[in-house]
Amino acid sequence: MRVVFDAHVVVAGVCWQGEGWLCLVKLARRLAFAYGTVATLDETRETALRLIHQQQPSHNAAARLTWYLDKVRRVEAAPLGKQRSRDTKDDPYLAAALAAKAALIVTYDRDLLALEKPFGIQIARPGRFLQMV
């Protein structure tokens, strides 16, 4: 299954052992294939590094982040035409999913979740993704 993880799901997986981490486990087991653009991966990297510095997890969170960034497949952002989400910061995830022909965007973001199924791409929380794979 082709998926796009938003930055907060990846950060949760990098820093803690909850649903975000289980999403990364599914990626490691090749039950899903993650895609991203330069913009989405830059946001993920910046957000994760900031949180790693603040929280200082007991495990090597930086290694998890590096692993994820090595595994994610890069695509060029697809043009969306006009703003699709209430929050302009969410549109790069839609552009990544559209370019990757992803089945799903995995997110905690309410604005993205409110879109339901733009361009035929399902948007779901990590718990729902874990049930699907």
What is the amino acid identity at position 32?
A
pLDDT tens profile 86-124: 777 899 999 999 999 999 999 999 999 999 899 999 999
Q: Is the pLDDT of residue 84 over 80?
A: no
* Averaged pLDDT, 124-133: 97
CATH of the domain at 92: 3.40.50.1010
Place of tokens 């290694």: 63
Q: How far apart are the first and last CA of the chain?
A: 8
Q: What is the pTM assigned to this prediction?
A: 0.93
pLDDT at 27: 97
pLDDT at 88: 76
Residue 83: pLDDT band (50, 70, 90) is: low
The dihedral built from the CA positions of residue 101, 33, 18 and 89, taken in this order, carries a sign that is: negative
> How many distinct structural domains can be found in the chain?
1
The range of the structural domain enclosing residue 68 comes to 2-132
